[in-house]
Chains A and B, each alone.
Chain A
Amino acid sequence: MGRLKRRIHTFAASVLDVPEDVIHDLPRITMIGNRQLYIENHRGVINFSPNELQLALTSGQIRIEGSELVIRAILPEEVFIEGTIQDIHYVPR
């Protein structure tokens, strides 16, 4: 994205009061306690083990640590995780 384009988008988002994820392709992360996690706008699985799940984002990565992690459902842009979640690391690029 060009710089100008991004600036227009940021401006539009602030003026129109639209959620940022719609404009900037940011992930929307919904967490229910420490048991369920729902991530929209991911860009694929990088690493998956019972204790760790690393997901690619449009810019950066997200790393979820926990135990007995299970991918309940996975779609091209959404992933629904269950298990005991202990840590979420957001690694921006």
Chain B
Amino acid sequence: MRAPILANLRGYVVLSLRGGKVEEFLNEAVQQGLRLWDVRLTAPGQGKLKLDLADFFRLRPILKRTGCRIHVERRCGLPFTLKRVMRRKLFLLGAAGFLVGLFLLTSLVWRVDVTGNEKLSKQTVLAAAREEGIFKYQWTFRLKGLDELSRGLLGRLPDAAWIGVDRKGTTIRIHVVETTRPEDKPLVSPRHLVAKKNALVTKIFAEKGKPVVAPNTYVRKGQVLVSGELGAGEHRKWVPATGKVFGLVWYVSAIEVPMEQIHRTYTGEAAEKSYLIIGNRALQITGYGKGNYEHSVTAGIPRMLSFRGFTLPFGWLKDTVRESEEKVNSLSAAEAEAVGLKRARDDLLLQAGSGARIAGEKVLSREVKDGKLRLKVHYEVEEEITSQLALVEAP
């Protein structure tokens, strides 16, 4: 217990004491309940002590009785400081002004954020917000309630499904959830569907327009399949014809298949070689005497040193030399034919596009010459044969 609690807050005085009966003074003061502490005697009959400010005026009768004299040496604590401060009016005014300024500045809107908008532009949202009273340098106490604001904004922005307004200190955040609209259909002009190849029509699916060919008719390239012209005379109407027409198309494929096929495979043996790269030269560091294979594949990526985006002309290359061997695979004529036909079918289906299938296959000729099998194959492919013909001039 050094000093009473909050002594600084209540204020206290440092007294020097002279003469009289110090002991009696102490006893009486304590009996009266005066708060005093740090009592020390410097010489007989002379001392110093600290006394609570509130008890100072109760001291006088005790002093009179005991014959002690006091002298106030120092005044400490908040009451005295306050008194000193009160003398400096301008300083006080400044302090008050600071507090008022702080309050005013923190009750301004300093930022308006818009999040979640993709199709709506930020300007649109901000303009709507301005009309609702949300803008930069607006007083926060002039703002309406957040619920009311979001409702008002939603009324002003019909493209938003939901709007949330959220205030964090001096920042207003407007969160927008946009409505999703169905995508507009691509605009199409009136057109015919015509054949893009000579073909035998097998199936017609006309969504719009009038089919003008029947299945099992032979059509030539450019012939109209589905007409975009509906009705006749006065009631004629032009529509963009849509639909799908499938037809059989004939192809003749010439295929060559080597009878001996060379496969290159790795044996599993490998060796590593490291190089130091200087400029466009490489100096081999490790791996001498290794990797001397009859057939080999070498692979490696040079790693160049770089510094802040500049590539330096120094680097390191690690090559892996893998031993390989060549295997010769001899095919019989039948095997070679199977390989060739499969390849031809795959090629055709790839060209014909989706929905195509091979309807017929007929080998026209086969011939083995110079170690190769030469095939001529006739294919019937059922595929989509439509292409569009825009009607530029609708009569």
Tell me, yes or no, whether A binds B.
yes
Of B1, B27, B38, the contact of A45 (CB 8 Å cutoff): B27
> Scoring A residues 23 to 56 as 1 if CB is less than 8 Å from chain B, else 0, what string do you get?
0000000000000000000001111111000000
> Which A residues are in CB contact (< 8 Å) with B31?
44, 76
| Contact A73 B33, beta carbon cutoff 8 Å | no
Interface residue? B181 (CB, 8 A): no
Measured CB to CB, the closest approach of chain B to A53, in angstroms, equals 9
| Contact A72 B26, beta carbon cutoff 8 Å | no
Of B2, B30, B41, B44, the contact of A74 (CB 8 Å cutoff): B30
Taken together as a complex, chains A and B put the C-alpha atoms of A45 and B30 apart, in Å, by 10
Taken together as a complex, chains A and B put the C-alpha atoms of A79 and B37 apart, in Å, by 10
- In the complex, which residue of chain A has the Cβ closest to the Cβ of B31? A76
Interface residue? B367 (CB, 8 A): no
The size bracket of the interface on A is 10 to 19
Measured CB to CB, the closest approach of chain A to B378, in angstroms, equals 117
| Contact A45 B37, beta carbon cutoff 8 Å | no
Of A44, A46, A74, A76, the contact of B39 (CB 8 Å cutoff): A74
Of A44, A49, A68, the contact of B27 (CB 8 Å cutoff): A44
Q: Looking at chain B's contact residues, is the secondary structure mostly helix, strand, loop, or mixed?
A: mixed
| Contact A71 B26, beta carbon cutoff 8 Å | yes
Interface residues of B in 22-71 (CB under 8 A from A): 22-23, 26-27, 30-31, 33, 36-42, 44
> Scoring A residues 43 to 87 as 1 if CB is less than 8 Å from chain B, else 0, what string do you get?
011111110000000000000000011111111100010000000
> Which B residues are in CB contact (< 8 Å) with A74?
26, 30, 36-37, 39
Taken together as a complex, chains A and B put the C-alpha atoms of A44 and B29 apart, in Å, by 10
> Which A residues are in CB contact (< 8 Å) with B37?
71-74
Taken together as a complex, chains A and B put the C-alpha atoms of A49 and B1 apart, in Å, by 21
Of A48, A50, A69, A73, the contact of B23 (CB 8 Å cutoff): A48
**The 10 residue pairs across chains A and B that have the minimum distance between CB atoms:** A71-B39, A44-B27, A70-B40, A45-B23, A73-B37, A45-B26, A73-B1, A50-B41, A74-B30, A48-B23
Apart from A46-B23, A48-B26, list 5 A-B contacts with CB within 8 A: A45-B27, A50-B41, A70-B38, A70-B39, A73-B1
Cβ contacts A to B, 16 pairs, < 8 Å: A45-B23, A45-B27, A46-B23, A49-B41, A70-B40, A71-B37, A71-B39, A72-B2, A72-B39, A73-B2, A74-B26, A74-B37, A74-B39, A75-B30, A76-B31, A80-B1
